[in-house]
Amino acid sequence: MSETLVMQTDLDRLSERVEKAAALVQQLRDDRARFERERDELTARVQEMEQKLQGQDVSALMQEVATLRREQREWQDERRDVASRIETLIKKLERLEH
């Protein structure tokens, strides 16, 4: 009888291990499917971006970006200069009013 009990316990343990392994295999399959979908989406996005940039010179685009940044800084400097001039004029007007 004890031999039957030991075999039953061993079978129960084996059954638990098999169930855990099956669950793990299913989880891995789900993960793989999700990763494949993500990979496919990213591949599509890369291809879309490549099509948008196709025929465009990357170095020319980078130069254009640098030029736009420089122009932005110039506009910001000019804006600060104009704001400073307005502030000076306001102070002069305030002195004239008093």
* pLDDT per residue as tens digits for the range 29-76: 999 999 999 999 999 999 998 888 787 888 888 999 999 999 999 999
Rounded to whole angstroms, the Cα distance separating 28 from 2 reads: 39
The two three-digit tokens of residue 73, written as one number: 């800084």
Q: Taking the model in full, what pTM does it have?
A: 0.46
Query: Which are the contacts of 35, defined by CB distance < 8 A and separation ≥ 6?
Result: none
The two three-digit tokens of residue 57, written as one number: 């010179």
Rounded to whole angstroms, the Cα distance separating 43 from 36 reads: 10
Rounded to whole angstroms, the Cα distance separating 97 from 92 reads: 9
